[in-house]
Structure 1
Amino acid sequence: MDTASTITLGDGTRIRYRLDGPEDAPVLVLSNSIATTLEMWDRNIVDLARRFRVLRYDTRGHGLSDAPSGAYSIERLGRDVLELLDALGFEKAHFCGISLGGLIGQWLGIHVPGRIDRLVLANTSAYLGPAPQWDARITSALGAQDLTATAEMFLGNWFPERLLADEATAAPFRDTILRMRPEGLAGCLAAVRDADMRRTISLIQAPTLVIIGDHDTVCLPEHGTFIAGAIPHAQSLAMPVTHLSNVEDPAGFVDAVSRFLDVSTVVTSS
């Protein structure tokens, strides 16, 4: 497997990325949930890299990518992906995003349809307003002495009790949040706050799979149902999971994604 590297974007921001899998395989971009790093895909990468050239990256503000101060936007985060693809010479790719990554995937599908082959939108929403709740979280992140309370809030939203009690699962995610730079978290919270693609996702033409968590309390099941109904010919698949479906059910997630990206098969809608 390849090692992680970085590129510097046009605005001077460095983005950490990693490539795995055969160089001649179809490219699959994996985009993270907020407050996680490219390691969130560790339980999936071995299986996915057998069939795809997998590109995963630390979203701006996260991990070993830079965290410039100020509000980010979904457009900016989407253009980060485009610059990364350009730098690596990838004209077109499949894209799979969870939560914030799913918002980025929607923007890409709407605005640069020629760059996206097939699109997987997992545990995400077209709109997560209203704004005041996000303003409060931004203020809290920037003003707190540490991100301990923020970490526990995220973990409680992401995992069922059995995984919260499993330190082998929960501890790495907690540690990632505690190491985050508040400016990076606040920047991405602003991007979520300002994103509203409810009227524009109908423009997405890429074949799309929407993965819905039956027990998701962040991006509710009805959010996924709305997306699947708005995008022409989209398929939906409900999984008995909370928010980080790829962590809670790695085998089921990889199977669903792999079958959808294989054009010779069709995922059964739920």
Structure 2
Amino acid sequence: MPLLTKEGRQIYWRTDGDPGKPKLILLNSLGTEQGLWGPLMPRLLESFHVLRMDKRGHGGSTNLADSCTMADLARDVLSVMDAAGWRRAHVCGVSIGGMQAMWLGIHAPDRVDRLVLSNTSAAIPREVFAARIEQVRAEGLAAMSDTILGRFFTASFIAEAGPVFHSARENLLQVDPRGYIACCAAIRDMQLMDGLAAIKAPSLVILGEQDQSTPPVMGETIAASIPGAEAVRLPYAHIPLSEVPQEYARIVTDFLLKN
């Protein structure tokens, strides 16, 4: 198990595929672990050498503090890239993973090739995640799980209750609440909007028409702010990659490989 020790914490990461293929980093959403991308991997590995990792307090990564910044989370990605010997890579991030990707595009442009920014935002009102933090402290993640999953997925996907849905639920319940709170603090305090115009990496923004967490207008604002950015709309919720993995993998692959 690849574990990077950083500042007393452990960061779990892994690579899969042919090291000779283009490099792709996948950054998942709040309340999930790197296995979220599993259904996409067969398609992605046809074209990419893939790196996945867990955020603080999620999956195999540990957490030590009640708060962190988006810069901290993005620098964890750079540390993992260094550990893997990766100088540059494409970055695809969903939700908070997209926020990490935007930070990298702004502050570490020499480390990224292309960006896929999925179901994400560069600015969310502070009170939204301030309230989320207090709710987690008061009720715990288990009491909030149905609400969180109700934002992740469409009603039909939840009603179907397939194995991917149940895996997402189990992984959410295993998240360290302190790590979840720390990542919420990073979202609460992020300041990315003013830097978007400086992103030079070719960028694709994926929007979900049923996304309650980061409604389409948030993605449209990102696409309008990054020079030359493209946008695609999908008729799904906050984590479309779980509902239509093959379609999502095709969209990502086509964008990253096109001339």
Pick the TM interval, shorter chain.
Answer: over 0.9
Aligned twin of 1:6 = 3
Q: Secondary structure at the match of 2:250?
A: helix
Which sections of structure 1, spanning at least 5 residues, go unmatched?
Answer: 265-270
Task: Give distance in 1, aligned partners of 2:82 and 2:2.
Answer: 15
Query: Of 159, 162, 182, which aligns to 2:156?
Result: 162
Alignment of 1:1-270 (within 5 A): 4-9=1-6, 11-129=7-125, 131-144=126-139, 146-167=140-161, 168-264=163-259
Task: Give distance in 1, aligned partners of 2:38 and 2:156.
Answer: 19
Using the TM superposition, give the Cα deviation of residue 223 of structure 1 relative to its aligned residue in structure 2, in angstroms. Answer: 0.6
Using the TM superposition, give the Cα deviation of residue 169 of structure 1 relative to its aligned residue in structure 2, in angstroms. Answer: 2.7
Aligned length: 258
Query: 4+ residue runs of structure 1 moved beyond 3 angstroms?
Result: none
What per-residue deviation string (whole Å, max 9, x for no partner) do you get for residues 27-81 of structure 1?
1000010000001001101110121110001111211101212211100000000
Letter of the structure 1 residue corresponding to residue 78 of structure 2:
L
Q: TM-score, normalised by structure 2?
A: 0.96
Q: TM-score, normalised by structure 1?
A: 0.93
Residues 55 and 61 of structure 2 are in contact (CA less than 8 Å); yes or no, is this contact kept in structure 1? yes
Task: Give distance in 2, aligned partners of 1:143 and 1:218.
Answer: 21
Using the TM superposition, give the Cα deviation of residue 153 of structure 1 relative to its aligned residue in structure 2, in angstroms. Answer: 1.4
Using the TM superposition, give the Cα deviation of residue 210 of structure 1 relative to its aligned residue in structure 2, in angstroms. Answer: 0.5
Task: Give distance in 2, aligned partners of 1:133 and 1:52.
Answer: 36
Give aligned-pair identity as a percent: 37
Q: Secondary structure at the match of 2:11?
A: strand
Residues 71 and 187 of structure 1 are in contact (CA less than 8 Å); yes or no, is this contact kept in structure 2? yes
Task: Give distance in 1, aligned partners of 2:77 and 2:151.
Answer: 26
Letter of the structure 1 residue corresponding to residue 5 of structure 2:
T
Letter of the structure 2 residue corresponding to residue 127 of structure 1:
A
Task: Give distance in 1, aligned partners of 2:12 and 2:64.
Answer: 14
Which of the two has greater helix per residue?
2
What per-residue deviation string (whole Å, max 9, x for no partner) do you get for residues 85-135 of structure 1?
011110000000000000000000000000000000000011111x22312
Task: Give distance in 2, aligned partners of 1:140 and 1:181.
Answer: 15
Task: Give distance in 2, aligned partners of 1:132 and 1:211.
Answer: 25
Residues 6 and 16 of structure 1 are in contact (CA less than 8 Å); yes or no, is this contact kept in structure 2? yes
